[in-house]
Amino acid sequence: MRKTSLAFLAAALFVVSTLSANPTENLEPTKKLSTQIHKMLESNSFDVESDMVANVRFTLNKDGEIVVLSVDTKDSLLEGFVKGRLNYQKVDLENPKEGRLYTVPVRITA
């Protein structure tokens, strides 16, 4: 009887640890979103001498459009470029989660 309850407890712990280790959210939409943002920022005419970096914080609205909340960078040219290219651009996602915050690093290389 004691071995049976010990085996049941071990099995229960295994199931709980397996479920908590695997996130329930599908990571594929995030990859699709990242790929789409890369394409939106891909063609640019920057003449840079060194790398330009920014952290872009945004959310999606109910229509599946990107709403840029902030662009953390020291370069105002990059900030304007990112806002102009991303703000209110529609992304192709199944069931976009309205209000979820995303942060994406952006780098323009020389």
pLDDT in tens, the chain (110 residues): 555 554 454 444 444 444 444 454 555 667 888 889 889 988 877 777 788 899 999 999 988 999 999 999 998 888 999 999 999 999 998 878 888 898 888 888 86
DSSP 99: T
| 2 in any annotated domain | no
- What's the domain count of the chain? 1
| 5 in any annotated domain | no
- Could you tell me the residue range of the domain that residue 83 belongs to? 26-108
The amino acid occupying position 57 is R
Spatial distance between the Cα atoms of 14 and 57, rounded to a whole number of angstroms: 37
| 21 in any annotated domain | no
Tokens representing 59? Answer: 């959310």
Among 77, 110, 61, smallest CA distance to 69 is for: 61
Domain containing residue 45: CATH number: 3.30.1150
Spatial distance between the Cα atoms of 75 and 14, rounded to a whole number of angstroms: 50
